């Protein structure tokens, strides 16, 4: 059996985030539908479109390493998304629904940020400049999304969550 080196790890982690992104793509419209705040809804819809582009970028990275674009079950994202579903269920029609949804969306972004941050570093170490640039582009989008969500939380969602329903 061949020894597992950093390129094995890079490939495995690429499969992990590819699986995660495709799960996230399916989950974002559900979260957008559930959101009450128009700003949160719009942010989640915008990020769904960005996620499609991110999946394409990952396919380009697979191409660069000469491997088929294939995912590998990512238990972490399954868990994070399951918690989001739980919030949608348990907080349905309640003032704190959006605050919970937004927090769930930020948990997703933070998972992505750690993955893309690592993959970008590894791509650089492995001398794959083009792959690193693609991964960095997505990393910037995830970080911006996280910041936008914080802005929405501060502007409206957290305050609304403290009010009791009229
Ligand atoms: Fe993403
Ligand atoms: Fe994201």
Each of the 166 residues of the chain gets a pLDDT tens digit; together they read: 789 999 999 999 999 999 999 999 999 999 999 999 999 999 999 999 999 999 999 999 999 999 999 999 999 999 999 999 999 999 999 999 999 999 999 999 999 999 999 999 999 999 999 999 999 999 999 999 999 999 999 998 888 888 875 5
The model's pTM is: 0.95
Which bound ligand lies closest to the C-alpha atom of 107? 2
CA nearest 99: which of 11, 48, 163, 161? 161
Give the C-alpha separation, 90 to 2, whole Å. 48
Q: How far is the CA of 79 from the centre of ligand 2 (A)?
A: 16
Q: How far is the CA of 160 from the centre of ligand 2 (A)?
A: 24
Q: How far is the CA of 89 from the centre of ligand 2 (A)?
A: 22
Q: What is the pLDDT of residue 90?
A: 97
Q: What is the pLDDT of residue 63?
A: 98
What is the CA 135 to chain-centroid distance, rounded? Answer: 13
Which bound ligand lies closest to the C-alpha atom of 147? 2
Which bound ligand lies closest to the C-alpha atom of 19? 1
Gyration radius from the chain CA atoms: 17
Q: How far is the CA of 90 from the centre of ligand 1 (A)?
A: 26
Q: How far is the CA of 36 from the centre of ligand 1 (A)?
A: 23
* Under 8 Å between Cβ of 65 and 46: no
Give the C-alpha separation, 29 to 26, whole Å. 7
Q: What is the pLDDT of residue 166?
A: 54
Q: How far is the CA of 108 from the centre of ligand 2 (A)?
A: 6
CA nearest 141: which of 109, 94, 95? 109
What sections of the chain are H helices per DSSP?
6-34, 38-64, 75-90, 97-125, 129-152, 158-162
Q: How many CB atoms lie within 10 A of CB 131?
A: 25
Q: What is the pLDDT of residue 1?
A: 74
CA nearest 142: which of 100, 114, 102, 104? 114
């Amino acid at each position: 059996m061949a020894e597992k080196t950093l390129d094995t790890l890079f490939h495995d982690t690429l499969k992990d985030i590819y699986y995660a992104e495709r799960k996230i793509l399916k989950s974002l419209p559900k979260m957008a539908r559930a959101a009450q705040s128009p700003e949160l809804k719009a942010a989640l819809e915008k990020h769904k479109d960005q996620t499609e582009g991110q999946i394409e970028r990952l396919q380009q990275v697979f191409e660069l390493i000469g491997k088929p674009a294939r995912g590998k079950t990512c238990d972490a994202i399954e868990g994070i998304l399951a918690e989001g579903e739980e919030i949608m269920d348990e907080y349905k029609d309640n003032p704190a629904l959006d605050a919970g949804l937004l927090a769930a969306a930020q948990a997703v972004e933070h998972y992505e940020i750690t993955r893309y941050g690592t993959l970008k570093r590894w791509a650089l170490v492995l001398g794959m400049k083009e792959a690193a640039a693609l991964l960095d582009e997505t990393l910037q989008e995830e970080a911006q999304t996280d910041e936008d969500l914080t802005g929405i939380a501060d502007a409206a969602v957290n305050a609304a969550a403290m009010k009791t329903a009229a």
